[in-house]
């Protein structure tokens, strides 16, 4: 999916995504839900930035991602972690965790509720007793503006990357068109990617959690106004809104 941009991913997203603030919120949430929480699996971990920062908060963090380039970067960035190349809807590790995370709307890449159901089952099977799942969803139908065009750019170590993002809505699918311009010592080149993410309602995701044997609650704000789900096996008393990052 990020075949054209994996090596530049951090350069682009570091310009507008507050990874440190999100990691602080997640750490606080996990400790509030379970003061003894220690081990964390970051599913669709990308380049391992959340994993690296959560480890700095005292957690032991491993990761799973479908993209081999991301897995390679994550291993280099956070050597104590174990990172595995696998589909988030079909992975089977020998380890169990106090928390399973799936952040930055990665779940949308599964595109169908059937695949999301399989992913939730995988998440549940990798939980320790009393473990918790924290999921940041993609947007619901009707929430995105298909006329929106965004531009992002980053520069470091003699490399400048700019990206233009356009959005197309096709039924219950959002199609993101990314056009890159990369300039380095060898000159300027261009490349493109298309990312497709499914659009699901809160009711659909809550029902899918339930069908996977999980009890979930929803915070409409979450880390970045996309909402946040917290789920456990068995009944529990619900989720309080995640605290804001320290100013």
Q: Is residue 237's pLDDT more than 50? A: no
Instruction: For residue 38, give the 3-state DSSP assignment.
Output: coil
The pLDDT mean for the chain works out to 94
C-alpha dist (Å) from residue 120 to 52, 206, 242: 24, 11, 21
Provide the pLDDT for residue 246.
Answer: 33
Give tens-digit pLDDT for 9-46.
999 999 999 999 999 999 999 999 999 999 999 999 99
The pair phi, psi for residue 203, each rounded to 5°, is -60, -40
Strand order in the sheet with 228-232: 83-85, 60-65, 39-43, 97-102, 127-135, 228-232, 215-219
Q: Is residue 245's pLDDT more than 60? A: no
Q: How much is the pTM?
A: 0.93
Give tens-digit pLDDT for 217-234.
999 999 999 999 999 997
Q: Is residue 241's pLDDT more than 60? A: no
Residue 20: DSSP 8-state: H
Provide the pLDDT for residue 235.
Answer: 57
Give tens-digit pLDDT for 151-176.
999 999 999 999 999 999 999 999 99
Q: Is residue 140's pLDDT more than 60? A: yes
Provide the pLDDT for residue 5.
Answer: 87
Mean pLDDT of 95-122: 98
Using CA atoms, how far apart are residues 40 and 98, in angstroms rounded to an integer? 6
The CATH number of the domain covering residues in 17-140+200-232: 3.40.50.150
Lowest-pLDDT range, 1-10, 90-99, 169-178, 192-201? 1-10
Q: Is residue 247's pLDDT more than 70? A: no
pLDDT bucket at 107, cuts 50 / 70 / 90: very high
Contact status, residue 40 vs residue 62, Cβ threshold 8 Å: yes
Please indicate whether residue 2 or residue 25 has the higher confidence score (pLDDT): 25
What would you measure as the largest C-alpha separation in the chain, in angstroms? 58
Q: What percent of the chain has pLDDT over 70?
A: 94
Q: Is residue 130's pLDDT more than 70? A: yes
């Amino acid at each position: 999916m990020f075949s054209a941009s994996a090596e530049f991913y951090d350069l682009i997203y570091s310009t507008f995504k507050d990874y440190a603030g999100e990691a602080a919120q997640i750490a606080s949430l996990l400790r509030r839900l379970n003061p003894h929480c220690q081990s964390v699996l970051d599913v669709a971990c990308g380049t391992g930035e959340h994993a690296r920062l959560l480890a700095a908060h005292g957690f032991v963090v491993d990761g799973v991602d479908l993209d081999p380039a991301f897995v390679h970067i994550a291993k280099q960035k956070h050597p104590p972690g174990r990172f595995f190349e696998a589909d988030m809807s079909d992975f089977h590790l020998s380890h169990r965790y106090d928390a399973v995370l799936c952040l930055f709307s990665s779940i949308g890449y599964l595109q169908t509720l059937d695949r999301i159901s399989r992913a939730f089952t995988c998440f549940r099977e990798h939980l320790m007793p009393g473990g918790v799942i924290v999921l940041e969803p993609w947007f619901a139908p009707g929430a995105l503006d298909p006329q929106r065009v965004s531009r992002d750019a980053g520069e470091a170590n003699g490399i400048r990357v700019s990206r233009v993002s356009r959005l197309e809505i096709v039924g219950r699918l959002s199609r993101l068109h990314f056009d890159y311009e990369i300039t380095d010592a060898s000159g300027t080149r261009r490349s493109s990617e298309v990312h497709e993410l499914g659009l699901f309602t809160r009711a659909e995701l809550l029902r899918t959690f339930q069908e996977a044997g999980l009890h979930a609650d929803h915070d409409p704000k979450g880390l970045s106004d996309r909402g946040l789900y917290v789920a456990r096996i068995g009944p529990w008393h619900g989720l309080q809104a995640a605290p804001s990052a320290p100013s």
